[in-house]
Amino acid sequence: MKNIVILISGGGSNMAAIVKAAQREGWADRYGARVAAVISNKAEAKGLKFASDHGIVTELIDHKAYPGREAFDAALAQVIDRYDSPDQPVLVLLAGFMRILTPGFVNRYAGRLVNIHPSLLPAFAGLHTHQRAIDAGCQVAGATVHLVTAELDHGPILAQAVVPLLSGDTADTLAARVLTQEHLIYPQAVAQLLRKMQLPAMAATRYGSA
């Protein structure tokens, strides 16, 4: 069984969308994958209760308890690695995880560390994406699911959704519409990635049985 670990810092609505999709679409049977743990750097993160209520292991690693990013990332990796194995590498999903990860951490999980960002990358990397899109006079905004690299909010794009900007939009109204699309494309992108990760194992099985 391939383990998925999701990192959150708040309400975890994208995490919840992934958990619901995994259950609804039968990821365990279809892809041999399950959401094994949800980890937060904040004790007050409401997403922890949702995960616990759905029978998912939760972990708290308070970043304020560590002297710097490297120490925190090392502790975080130690917990994630409980769900990792050479034959079934863990998939790590960032879902509103409000921490900048060190290059060492990113490299450790290269190719299996995924993030969702509330803009049409490469436009508006970083914070305040919705207001920046409005201020720039954009006609469309959106969201991007991408593999994480050491460069902030960059990396190969897995999925995008386009949301039109409407007359009178505020950052809040635009964010709400973008979020509904995030809840659709993030689970879809993860499922597609799981399918791709299945292919080498399936090919090896066919070759071994030939």
Contact call for residues 88 and 4 (beta carbons, < 8 A)? no
Question: 143: closest CA among 47, 13, 42?
Answer: 13
Is 117 catalytic? The answer is yes
Integer Cα distance of 56 and 41 in angstroms: 17
C-alpha atoms less than 13 angstroms from C-alpha of 7 in its C-beta half-sphere: 23
> Could you identify the residue written with the tokens 């590498």?
89
Residue of 54, 63, 117, 146 marked active site? 117
Fill in the amino acid letter for 107: N
Token pair, residue 40, equals 């937060």
Q: Which residues are catalytic?
A: 117
